[in-house]
Amino acid sequence: MMKRVATKPEPKVVADVHHPLEHYFRNERLPHIWCPGCGLGTSMSCLAAAFDHLKLDVDDVSVVSGIGCSGRLAGYMRPDSYHTTHGRALPFATGLRVALEKTKPGHKVVVFSGDGDLFSIGGNHFIHAARRNIDLSVFCVNNFNYGMTGGQVGPTTPLGSKGTTAPYGMFEHPFNLPYLAASSGAPYVARWTTLHVHRLQQAMEEAIQKRGFTFVEIIAPCPTNFGRRNGLPTGLDEMRYYREEAVIENFADPKDAEIIPGKPFIVGTFVNEDKPDYVAIYEKFVADHFGVTVK
Amino acid sequence: MNKKDILAGEHFLNGDVACAEGAIAAGCRLFAGYPITPQSEITETMAHRLPTIGGFFLQMEDELASIAAVLGGAWGGMKAMTATSGPGFSLMMENLGLGIMTETPCVIVDVQRGGPSTGLPTATSQADMMQARWGTHGDHEIIAYAPASPQEMFDQTIKAFNQSERYRQPVLVMADEVVGHMMERVVIDPDKIEIYPRRKPSVPYEEFLPYRGGADMVPEMACAGEGYRVHVTGLTHDERGYPDLSVESQDALMHRLIGKIRDNADQIIEVEEENIRGADVVLVTYGIAARTSLRAMELAEQKGIKVGMLRLITVWPFPLKEVRKIAGAVKGIVVPELNLGQIVREVERAAAGQCPVRLVGHAGGGLHRPEDILTAIEEVA
């Protein structure tokens, strides 16, 4: 049995070079725990690049995550970050965002979590946060399985795909996340893969800038647990799959955004509309009726 | 906080409304809840009041979300509360643990009703007392109040907020349906209300360790956007707040989390003693059961039995020392409670065989008959 050690050895400094995005990271926490070929590192880089491009100060944004591989992202990013309970990132972020309207208006709240966290155990919270139009930027890394716990199937696992709790293939239909988000009322819905890094970064920027409940699905590889059981054993195989089958189509009907293995699937912006968010409606009402400000 | 937002003066209020007003007086400006009886008037009062004073009222999709939003609100720099009953309290156990682990100040009110499961949705019980203590998984300490009147619903909700800030932990107000729904005089003097403020960092970012306890083992709290770049996790963490899943880290964290309550218990524990000195029998009771017990005391005195009462204002931490001292000086202890034996176990443990301890249980849905308490008093006298 491997011996647990309390602290990691200090990394040896080989050259005094700095990464242009390092101020967004807790460098003392890196390297991360994610597997080779995993899409989470790419997604995290895109998020930091989006912060940087928006000139978002590290103290003007908070990152909230749930539990799972994606949930660990909060622990690697330098802003105030909250690693909550499984499925509860959105209601936690709801309270945080609402409170910040009083304590620090303009502060951004980003929720970054996985498909199982946001859509299985947290599914109810997702539809309600979208319905309320809480001003949150929600980024969901969809790798079609529960990676951290060993490759169990989840609510986005395609019909017939294999996982450790579906050794004969998935018997259930999956969620179509853009369709679910759009029909729940989200005013911004997009989907990209970790192959489309520039478009993903751009979508994250749009989502962060837009006030309201904004949602970006990030299709990402999990070669360790999902890919190798489903004919895509390396990260590169997944990238090839995205290059061959991802079809860019903006403002497609989200109903058509189903993902069926081996078949083309749509990526792009599905919804981008203006809609007053919960806090804006609330603030206006209390100002008009009671002459008070929440700030 | 503006004193004019407090409901000052003398009022005829039900306990639930008094609780909501107490929260407002304590500075609570964020409430997240979900409809459930018999706490409904707390949520409804907050929905009515908070928008008028610049607070936020959130009706969430369930109790899981309610407590999560309260924790988020606290990290956003606000004082936050939720209130629930019965099944809703069960749903909150998960994030009560997150609140303890992340040392998040907030208040959770449980207006108890009969259970298990749907049980008695509109009728009283005190059967969640052990769930309050041990309901969330893992080792931990709890602070819980047991109000016995609308005035105490007001006063103890304020105390709960103060203790949650003082010890940086969710604090429970364990009310019950009768106290929640009874209407009584409540006197509110805003000038006499003391507020314990949030413990803000006293050092700059570079020197700040968000999970290093002070002399009393309680750390200072940097909220979102204050420039301290804090990482908050439900995982076992070191003083920086970073996950560290080692035996050593778990040991240090658990000793501090438990120690900050256990070692400060004398400052937290609050009891009310009545006629203890020279008593033959002492009633150890709490909440609404203590009020029924007053009539039993009168009946016993008419029969020449000297009866005292130790009323638990805080049920958790349990006043072990106080009960142990009484047990060594009386013929017997009687414990009336609206369940079939929860706090009586703690009393037995504290009494440690020094005197007989009798439970006067009640399955819930109504209150004790004073005569039943009297019978138990006579048995041990």
Tokens of B99: 């609140």
A95 and B248 within 8 Å at the Cβ level: the answer is: no
CA angle, B22 then B27 then B33, to 5°:
70
Considering only CA atoms, give the Rg of chain B. Answer: 21
Domain boundary among the residues B160, B192, B224 is at B192
Q: For residues B54 and B183, state if they share a domain.
A: yes
Pairing of strands A214-219, A137-142: parallel
Please count the residue pairs, one from chain A and one from chain B, whose beta carbons lie less than 8 angstroms apart: 183
H-assigned helices in B117-270: 129-134, 150-167, 177-181, 247-262, 265-268
Contacts of A84 in chain B (CB under 8 A): 68, 71, 98, 234
Task: Report if residue A137 sits inside a domain.
Answer: yes
A 10 A CB-CB count for B355 gives 17
CA A283 to chain B, closest CA, distance in angstroms equals 8
CB contact under 8 A, A85 and B68: yes
A184 near B CB under 8 A: no
Domain enclosing residue A241, as ranges? 32-290
Mutation choice for B interface testing from A57, A62, A97, A290 by most B CBs within 10 A:
A62
Query: Mind telling me how many Å the CA of B150 is from chain A's nearest CA?
Result: 28
Q: Tell me the C-alpha distance between B29 and B283, whole Å.
A: 38
- From the list B204, B107, B120, the residue with the least C-alpha distance to B158 is B107
User: Nearest residue on chain A to B94, judged by CA atoms?
Assistant: A85
Judge if pTM exceeds 0.90.
Answer: yes
Cβ of A95 and B72 within 8 Å? yes
Closest by Cα among B315, B310, B354, B300 to B332: B354
Domain count, chain A: 1
Q: Do B62 and A107 touch (CB under 8 A)?
A: no
Q: Are A24 and A46 in contact (CB under 8 A)?
A: no
Kindly report the nearest CA distance between residue B61 and chain A, in angstroms. 7
Q: What is the pLDDT of residues A211-229, one digit of tens each?
A: 999 999 999 999 999 999 9
Per-residue confidence in pLDDT tens, chain B, 381 aa: 678 999 999 999 999 999 999 999 999 999 999 999 999 999 999 999 999 999 999 999 999 999 999 999 999 999 999 999 999 999 999 999 999 999 999 999 999 999 999 999 999 999 999 999 999 999 999 999 999 999 999 999 999 999 999 999 999 999 999 999 999 999 999 999 999 999 999 999 999 999 999 999 999 999 999 999 999 999 999 999 999 999 999 999 999 999 999 999 999 999 999 999 999 999 999 999 999 999 999 999 999 999 999 999 999 999 999 999 999 999 999 999 999 999 999 999 999 999 999 999 999 999 999 999 999 999 999
Query: At residue A73, does pLDDT exceed 80?
Result: yes
Q: Which of B145, B176, B192 is the last residue of a domain?
A: B192
Nearest to B78 among A103, A286, A292 (CB): A103
**Smallest Cα–Cα separation from B217: which of B261, B155, B154?**
B261
Q: Which of B352, B371, B372, B351 is nearest to B361 (CA)?
A: B372
- Partners of B225 on chain A (C-beta within 8 Å) are 59-60, 62, 80, 100, 103-104, 107
Nearest to B209 by CA among B248, B234, B175, B240: B240
pLDDT digits (tens, 9 = 90+) for A103-129: 999 999 999 999 999 999 999 999 999
CB contact under 8 Å between A100 and B62, yes or no, is no
Q: Which of residues 215-234 of B touch A (CB under 8 A)?
A: 222-234
Q: Which residues 9-48 in chain B show a CB within 8 A of chain A?
A: 29-30, 32
Q: Is residue B227 part of a domain?
A: no
**Token pair listed for B181:** 């729904």
Spatial neighbors of A18 by CB under 8 A, at least 6 apart, are none
Kindly determine whether residue B242 and residue A64, on different chains, have CB atoms separated by under 8 Å. no
Q: Measured between CB atoms, which of A99, A125, A290 is closest to B77?
A: A99
> Is A2 in the B-facing interface, judged by CB distances under 8 Å?
no
Q: Can you give the CATH number for the domain in which B54 is found?
A: 3.40.50.970
Q: Would you say residue A295 lies in a domain? A: no
Report residue B363 as tokens. Answer: 């399955």
C-alpha atoms less than 13 angstroms from C-alpha of B50 in its C-beta half-sphere: 28
Q: Torsion angle, CA of A286/A288/A294/B2, rounded to 10 degrees?
A: -90
The residue out of B192, B224, B251 marking a domain boundary is B192
Is A80 in CB contact (< 8 Å) with chain B?
yes
A44 Cα to chain B: minimum distance (Å): 16
Residue of chain A minimizing CA distance to B52: A290
State the nearest Cα–Cα gap between A90 and chain B, in angstroms: 8
User: Is residue A213 included in any domain, yes or no?
Assistant: yes
Which residues partner with B358 through β-bridges? Answer: B334
- CATH code, domain carrying B358: 3.40.50.920
Q: B154 and B286: one domain? A: no
Answer whether A286 touches B (CB < 8 Å): yes
In a domain, A278, yes or no: yes
Largest CA distance in chain A: 66
Please say whether the beta carbons of B124 and B151 come within 8 A: no
Q: Does B74 touch chain A (CB under 8 A)?
A: yes
Surface of A (102-121) touching B: CB under 8 A: 102-104, 107
The reported pLDDT for the residue numbered A1 is 47
Neighbouring residues of B97: CB distance < 8 A, sequence distance ≥ 6: A85, B136, B137, B138, B140, B234
Contact criterion met (CB < 8 Å) for A95 and B64: no
Range of the domain at B131: 3-192
d(CA B58, nearest CA chain A) in Å? 8
What residues have CB less than 8 Å from A170, skipping those under 6 apart?
A: A153, A157, A158, A159, A160, A161, A162, A163
On whether both B8 and B125 belong to a single domain, the answer is yes
For residue B221, is it within any domain? no
- Cα–Cα distance, A63 to A58 (Å, whole number): 10
Q: Is residue A10 part of a domain?
A: no
The chain A residue lying nearest B78, using CA atoms, is A99
For residues B188 and B277, state if they share a domain: no
Closest chain A CA to residue B247: A6
Nearest to B61 among A64, A125, A290 (CB): A125
Min Cα separation A88/chain B (Å) = 6
Indicate the pairing of strand A188-193 with strand A265-272: antiparallel
In three-state secondary structure terms, B273 is strand
Say how many domains are in chain B.
2
CATH number where A183 lies: 3.40.50.970
Burial grade of B121 (CB within 10 A; 0-12, 13-18, 19 or more): middle
pLDDT value of position B329? 97
Residue B257 near residue B301, CB atoms below 8 Å: no
A256-282 pLDDT, tens digit each: 999 999 999 999 999 999 999 999 999
**The residue count for chain A:** 295
* Domain annotation covers residue A6: no
Residue B206 included in any domain: no
Residue A37 tokens read as 């070929």
Please indicate whether, in this complex, the C-beta atoms of B68 and A95 are within 8 angstroms of each other.
yes
Residue B30, C-beta contacts closer than 8 angstroms, at least 6 positions apart: A95, A98, A99, B50, B55, B56, B58, B69, B70, B73, B76, B78, B79, B80, B81
* A56 interaction partners in chain B (CB closer than 8 Å): none
SS3 at position A2 = coil
